[in-house]
Structure 1
Amino acid sequence: MDKTLLKGLRVLETINELDGQALTIEQLALQVGLTRSNTHRTLQSLSHAGYVYRDPVSGGYRCTLKLFEMGARLLFSLDVRSLAAPFMRELADQTGESVHLSVLEGMDVVYIDKIDSPQPIRAYSVIGGRAPAYAVATGKVLLSFQPADYLVQYQSVLQQHTASTHIDLAFLRNEFRQVQLRGYAENHGEWREGVGGLAAPLLNGLNKVVAALGISGPLDRLSPEAMTRMAPLVLRSAQALSSQLGYRGEYFDLPKE
């Protein structure tokens, strides 16, 4: 058990519980039962990580909005899941393939909802499961709209999963530029041999890409021609769901069916 981490969490929770009241090092040390030096070091770490800041007037410490941002992201994930259900069902009916709703966490996508294909041979996944974002369609969509240095931060985790996996940064950046232009990403067996996918971004009222909606299935069915044919279906579903999330801007040019 990491005692340093537990100390940090106790300090953070104590500051957060006092409804915005700034606490001095001495007050915090007394409340959490730590020495002054221990409390000071913990506050320095929390401040460096962006969770607390020192009030210039009182000299006490307050929580930043970082905890709120983390909680808001979780709440959004729960909210988009409930809003997405009818759009996912319609897309599943239209394509006959498995449908996934994904969010980005580091260099992974997390599947927050799914509908299985009725076909006897289908892509396997579980709600709460993860996949390398750079190797699946929903992940590529989400990575395509991250800051320019995002890939560099996670370069060390890029690894080959199949013969089709792309881990070259220049290649990935070029692919992500194409995704930004056309509005959807494809996966041709880059995570699992013989399994492909197609996905489009979900935007919210702040014009931010916050999740991805996609389909997946065997490459025997999701051939390049089939993906081109199904791209408008995925884009239209993602556009309609984005509207429900508050997005009012221009979506991507929809290809002809």
Structure 2
Amino acid sequence: MDKTLLKGLVVLEAVTDLQNQPKTIEELATRVGLTRSNAHRTLQTLIHAGYVEKDEDAGGYRGTIRLFELGARQLAQLDVRRIALPLMRALAERTEETVHLSVLDGLDVVYVEKIDSAQPIRAYSMVGGRGPAYAVATGKALLAYQHDGYLDGYAKQLMKHTAATVTSLSALKDELQKVVRVGYAVNNGEWREGVGGVAAAVFNGLDQPIAAVGISGPLERLTTRKMKEFAPDVQACALKISRAMGHRGAGKTSTR
């Protein structure tokens, strides 16, 4: 157990209790059972991380808006799963392929929901699993709508998974611009040999990309022609989820 991390979380909970009033170091130290110096060091770390700020007028410490943003993102992810599930089932019935709902975490996607294909040969994945965002369709659908410079810090982490993986930052950015233009992303065996997919981004009421929905399957069955055929269905599914999340745009608005 990481006692330092645990200490920081306990202090953070004390700072942000339901009373919502700035807390002094003495109050916090007494409440969580730390010395004043330990409480001060922990608060300085939380301030540096952006989760706590000092209220000079009140002479105490309070939580920042970053905590709200963190909680809002988590809540949005939980809501989008519930809303997306029936629409994902319909997409699975229409395409007969595996349907994924993914969220972005750095340079990875995390699969938060999944409907398995009824086909005997299908794409393998699991809820809670990860994939390289730049090499899977749902990941590229999300990366396409991130702010300028998002990928720059990850340039050295782009690695080959198959012969088809795009590892050139400039080539990847060009592809992501195309994703914005056409409204969907494709994966042609870029993470796993012989497995591809097509996906589109899901937006919330603030026009922010919060998830991506897509289908995946063996390229022998999910051919380039089939991907183009199913792309409108995938886009329609993403747009319906977005509408249910409060989005009122066309589902392709980019911040790039």
Task: Report the TM-score when normalising by structure 2.
Answer: 0.93
SS in 1 for 2:151: helix
1:230 and 2:233 correspond: no
Distance 1:204 1:74 in 2: 13
What is the deviation of 1:168?
1.3
Distance 2:116 2:199 in 1: 16
One-letter identity of the residue aligned with 1:172: L
CA offsets 1:101-123 (integer angstroms, 9 cap, x no match)? 11111211111111111111110
1:164 and 2:159 correspond: no
One-letter identity of the residue aligned with 1:169: L
Q: In structure 2, what is the equivalent of residue 195 of structure 1? A: 195
Name which of structure 1's ranges 12-21 and 97-106 shifts more when overlaid on structure 2: 12-21
Q: In structure 2, what is the equivalent of residue 39 of structure 1? A: 39
Q: In structure 2, what is the equivalent of residue 144 of structure 1? A: 144
**Identity across the alignment (%):** 58
Distance 2:5 2:126 in 1: 31
Query: Is there any run of 5+ residues in structure 1 with no aligned partner, and where?
Result: none
Distance 2:173 2:161 in 1: 19
Distance 2:134 2:240 in 1: 25
What is the deviation of 1:243?
1.3
What is the deviation of 1:185?
0.3
CA 1:156–1:33: 2 relative to 1, 3 Å: farther
- Equivalent residues of 2:185, 2:200 under 8 A apart: yes
- Equivalent residues of 2:109, 2:132 under 8 A apart: yes
User: Pairwise CA RMSD of aligned residues?
Assistant: 1.6
CA 1:34–1:252: 2 relative to 1, 3 Å: closer
Count of residue correspondences: 253
Name which of structure 1's ranges 202-211 and 30-39 shifts more when overlaid on structure 2: 30-39
Distance 1:121 1:173 in 2: 32
What is the deviation of 1:145?
0.8
Distance 2:10 2:84 in 1: 37
What is the deviation of 1:155?
3.0
Give every structure 1 segment of 4 or more consecutive aligned residues whose post-TM-superposition deviation is greater than 3 Å.
none
What is the deviation of 1:67?
2.2
